[in-house]
Amino acid sequence: FLAFPAGLAPVAPTDPLLTSATPTFAWDVDQPTGLVPYSADTFHVQVATDTLFAHRLLDTVLTGSSVTLPSGAPPGVPLWWRLVARSPLNVTDSIPRRGPFVPPAWVTLLTLADPGGQSTHDSLPTLAWHPAGTAPFRYDVAVYPASGTPAAAVASATGLTDTTFHVTRPLEHSLPFRWRVVVHLGTDSTIVASRGSFVVVDDATPATTLLYQNFPNPFPNPRTGLLNTCIWFDVATGGSVQLDVFDIRGRRVRRLAPAVLVPPTLDPGHYGRPPGDVPGSCDPRFAWDGRDDTGAFVRPGVYLYRLTAPGFQDAKRIVFLGAP
């Protein structure tokens, strides 16, 4: 009782959602006025990813009143911690299990990472991210075609300590890209990838007519709030243009162009992008919400969307998950 007359009080963390990948766990040894804790008091701290403390990230004994997790906490995996204090006279007190506390992603991507897709006019973009905390992270960055894997990276760097990466070779126009950061902390690492793709566009007349893969696909994606799917296309030669959605038997279920707001002939240009290339959205005229021409939702399944333009016809697969 004399060792810990007023008990132990947890100090940190206080918010269930952690802001650091290496959180600090702290406590107070409350003492009556005029008394100070014994310098020989020891504190046994355990941090685990389960309530039974079978999978421990930290299990240490110290004499201070705080400890910082020396390795990165797995993003999104709940943590629990507890403490047992012991005096030189073998008097003990404890802080029971506390949690869950949820660690953040080790980095947050700041540019060209909108889940709804994004476009840029800069063929040499600067990619930026924000770390969770002040740990000595190192970063490997890769930019790669959205249809491929990081092994096919067209721009990359390893061992960065800065939180920006400048692409030094111009990225191909009209090709969807994704990018990712592999975050290293000691021997631990985690991967954060852009949830959407980005495309480098320009205001010039397209050199060729192209139909892009819709995004998101599959859709809808309630996790990101995206209930429609966006369809982008380029028209190199003006003329009659049709954009239709078919079921796998070849029956048309929805005509997106021409439509009330889409004339039967289109000039050369880029279509499906929002005015000013606003990230995370698309031109609603060329977005499909999963409804047929009568306004009823189609059944969940695989569909095809087809673009027909002067000298061009192409189709791509689209997956509808069902009415939101």
**Backbone phi, psi, residue 102, to 5°:** -105, 120
β strands within 106-259, DSSP E: 107-109, 118-120, 126-131, 138-145, 155-160, 164-166, 177-185, 188-193, 198-200, 210-211, 229-230, 233-235, 239-240, 242-247, 252-257
Q: Which residue has the tokens 């087809």?
A: 306
Sequence-distant (6+) residues with CB within 8 A of 191 are: 180, 181, 182, 183
Percentage helix, strand, coil for the chain under 3-state DSSP, each rounded to 5: 5, 45, 50
Per-residue pLDDT at 1 = 45
Per the CB < 8 A criterion, the answer to whether 124 and 118 are in contact is no
Q: Which residues pair with 192 in a beta bridge?
A: 181
Instruction: Report helix, strand or coil for 129.
Output: strand
Classify each residue of 90-122 as buried b or exposed e, where b means 16 or more C-beta atoms within 10 Å of its C-beta. eeebebeeebebebbbbbebebbbbbbbbbbee
Distance CA 3, CA 223 (A): 51
Alpha-carbon gap, residue 251 to 261, rounded angstroms: 23
- At 33 the pLDDT is 46
Q: Which residues of 148-184 are buried (b: 16+ CB within 10 A; e: fewer)?
A: eebeebbbebeeeeeeebebeeebebbebbbbbbbbb
The pLDDT assigned to 106 comes to 97
| CA atoms of 118 and 283, how far apart (whole Å) | 12
* DSSP tally for the chain: helices H, then strands E: 0, 27
Q: Dump the DSSP string for 68-111.
A: E-SSPPPTT--EEEEEEEE-TT--EEEEEEEEEEBPPPSEEE-S
All residue ranges of the chain with pLDDT < 70 are 1-6, 30-40, 203, 224, 274-281
Q: Mind listing the pLDDT tens digit for each residue in 260-294? A: 999 999 999 889 876 555 555 688 899 999 999 99
CB 154 within 8 A of CB 169: yes
Burial (0-12, 13-18, 19+ Cβ within 10 Å), 213 = middle
Find the largest Cα–Cα distance for the chain. Answer: 91
**Strand 66-68 and strand 56-62: pairing?**
unpaired
Angstrom distance (rounded) from CA 213 to CA 18: 37
Residue 256's nearest CA partner among 267, 248, 244 is 244
Predicted local confidence at residue 247, as pLDDT: 96
Question: How buried is 193 (Cβ within 10 angstroms: 0-12 exposed, 13-18 middle, 19+ buried)?
Answer: middle
